[in-house]
Structure 1
């Protein structure tokens, strides 16, 4: 259950995975604007979640492009959200020099540029409405445990998620005395199609991986209570280790694990 009830939520990357789980986890009192790239998946989800008295919109948009981001911003301004969930993400597994240039660029556009420009565009009005209504708004940034250290064979993705992590933490500090709760969510391996799409081996999303529903549920429970949530006990332990040990000591074992996954594709 969420600590606060929101009137209108915008969720990016809602076609599947964690974004879809956020849409399902929010209560029926929250209207939804769901965006993603799959027309079929978004239609099915909006049809399923719509209720009498609940407004659910869908918007097909590619956040790797300016026109897709502008389309989302325009629709969101009309929707007037009090909760923004920046979830859309793109990953590509492999050596950066071997990945397609367009893929490397798309990771930065979706994971860095999109949440930055969408947040900047929507945040001022979200704050104004919260002040006027005497309510609190919410901002959720879905980062990753990949943000905790450099990752060979996932170098660009990890770097973009480090940006998300530090960007959201900076915002949380800047907005400490404003009527908004800012949460950074750090899932580890999650049972979605992410690693399949990213090109990683099956061992990267093994039996200990969280479900998307668990990630969304823990995130919404933490929103308003803390500013960072790392999902899963093993991932919380990894975060502690990554903070304590020098990067050079972690890089070798990490490289070996990820290299095996690369060979096992």
Structure 2
């Protein structure tokens, strides 16, 4: 079952992780004023400013400062979200660390797995039953959005752990979409390519990648919301869609060499 071409006003309450900046913030701004929001992230000042701005028209906005790399942060978000009773969950929070795995800090490597893999698994499992029950009772459809990445399409040297975690998100969401095919929920896997956010700065590589034009966070959010209810996977950008097709067709060993050379060049530019 599908909605119309624009789902921005279709939801009553949305939970957005990683909402203090980038794509998460763009989702918060892109959803209809009729959708109440629970925004979570680690930057308290940014969350407060965004919540204050979006609530000026009387819209109900809740915010929660939480570190999803820790059990305490995940448990807090689950408890608050269950009381909030969302019909849309956007698993957007993500971490990436650029460099050779053996050179990266062990805690950075662990944090990527905790935020990119453990957090969406724990949060989705906790909230999904209630979302489905409310959707059935209200005869409406719920929504689940998983922000993966074009990094999920193949192993990436110098981004090894990040790419592996995004491959998990990519396949996890598609598996859920199949499991939930006959339930009143739309599941979407979103695969942005390089996007104009602070991701590369925070990943430890200030040099933005060359290649296809970088998308804006707003473009990613708008494209995802248009796709929700219409398809199971959306790859943002024509060049990235072509890359996805190539990655499916060519053996990993063929792609690995050129990819390693490009990313090694980025390492030298640090």
Q: TM bucket by the smaller chain?
A: over 0.9
Give SS of 2:189's match: strand
1:3 Cα offset (Å)? 6.3
Give SS of 1:216's match: helix
Counterpart in the other structure of 1:20: 25
User: Is 1:182 aligned to residue 187 of structure 2?
Assistant: yes
Q: Are the counterparts in 2 of residues 169 and 184 from structure 1 also a CA contact under 8 Å?
A: yes
Q: Are the counterparts in 2 of residues 3 and 223 from structure 1 also a CA contact under 8 Å?
A: no
Tell me, which stretches of 5 or more residues in structure 1 are unaligned? none
Q: CA separation in 2, counterparts of 1:50 and 1:57? A: 9
Cα deviation code 1:154-200 (max 9, x no counterpart): 00000000000000000000000000000000000000000010012
Q: CA separation in 2, counterparts of 1:174 and 1:188? A: 27
Cα deviation code 1:103-137 (max 9, x no counterpart): 00000000000000000000000000000000000
Give SS of 2:162's match: helix
User: Is 1:226 aligned to residue 224 of structure 2?
Assistant: no
For the aligned residues, what is the CA RMSD? 1.1
From the superposition, tell whether residues 207 and 252 of structure 1 become closer, same or farther in structure 2 (CA, over 3 Å).
closer
User: Is 1:263 aligned to residue 268 of structure 2?
Assistant: yes
1:226 Cα offset (Å)? 0.2
Counterpart in the other structure of 2:78: 73
**TM-score, scaled to structure 1:** 0.98
Give SS of 2:196's match: coil
Counterpart in the other structure of 1:35: 40
The count of residues paired between Structure 1 and Structure 2 equals 265
Counterpart in the other structure of 2:250: 245
Residues 156-165 or 207-216, more deviating: 207-216
Counterpart in the other structure of 1:118: 123
1:163 to 165, 168, 171: 168
Q: Are the counterparts in 1 of residues 9 and 35 from structure 2 also a CA contact under 8 Å?
A: no
Tell me, which stretches of 5 or more residues in structure 2 are unaligned? 1-5
Counterpart in the other structure of 2:16: 11
1:56 to 61, 71, 75: 61
From the superposition, tell whether residues 48 and 205 of structure 1 become closer, same or farther in structure 2 (CA, over 3 Å).
farther
Q: Are the counterparts in 2 of residues 195 and 205 from structure 1 also a CA contact under 8 Å?
A: no
Counterpart in the other structure of 2:7: 2
1:201 Cα offset (Å)? 4.2
Q: Are the counterparts in 2 of residues 201 and 262 from structure 1 also a CA contact under 8 Å?
A: no
Q: Are the counterparts in 2 of residues 190 and 205 from structure 1 also a CA contact under 8 Å?
A: no
1:208 Cα offset (Å)? 1.1
